[in-house]
Chain A
Amino acid sequence: MTELQFTDVQRDCLQELVNVAMGQASDKLARYLGTFVHLQVPAIALVEAALLSQHFASRYQQQSATLVSLGFFGDQGLRGETIMLYQLANVGVIAQLLGYSDDAVSEAEMLTDISSVLTTTFLSGLAEQLENSFSYAAPRILSCRDQYFADKLAYTAEQWQLALQVDIRYQLTDYSFNCDMILLIPGEAVLRLRQTLDNILADF
């Protein structure tokens, strides 16, 4: 079992890298949606992957959620999978904003597109700061408007060790748009990440 703990200083460092990457992703999303995106400080949490599904099952209660996954691969063992979770209350509004039709196929297509914009921009921004570069797998939908999404999340999380949970609350000018992003990474990537954070910290 890999030791997954981060020190406070490493955590602050990672939080700042996430903020910068998230700023780039928001800018991209704002251009994509054609509206201003109010950016909040994204709260990050590092949790064991095994505990993840429980957390989201209780957070989302009985509501259904859609999960979109995107795999990424970097140098020196830094790799993983991002999962975007969408609660669907306000998806119709966003679909209208973007000109997607109001049906299940279009909704899935839209969430895949948004996930792709958000995660690849976010990850590229993160990779750049970590002096790494990522390549990406095509996004895929793990669960669509599913009440049992937690089981699918648990199944996916099983393959990884550490989860970096990023709570994203995007407030568009006129609509609220909530989603959660989870970065799942394996043990050796945790070690690599910590080493990289230490290198960055040593520079300052």
Chain B
Amino acid sequence: MQHALILLGVLIAGMGLSVEAGLLGPLGEQVGHLSATLSIFMVGALLLSLALVFVPRRQLGALFKQPRWLLTGGILGPVYVIVLTLATPVVGVGMTMVGILSGQIAASMAIDHFGWLGSEERKVDGYRVAALVMILVALWLM
């Protein structure tokens, strides 16, 4: 039951990602792609800074005790957002998401298969290959 609730929450968060792409495309056309990207990270960073003040038992120090590569998520994020603002005006939100999706699934398979980035190794099986093929066909159909 709790599982289903968490998954529902994640599903809604996924819908939010598409709304973000839908907002970013037109915004980037008007104010510039990098400015649109900046607005996302700036507002996000400020909101989370506020939230951080009210979090009980913050562990900010622990962040910098982690191996440095674990902290690179913030460098990867802008790449995704910049691509979103560039692509949506040209190909539409649907196509953008399918493209992102293919990259996401292919990369997550590679990460699992080879155990990159410290994740445990999970070999690619027939199901996953079939899923990837279906997504590529869908991409071509869109």
**Chain B binds chain A:** no
Interface residues of B (CB under 8 A from A): none
Interface residues of A (CB under 8 A from B): none
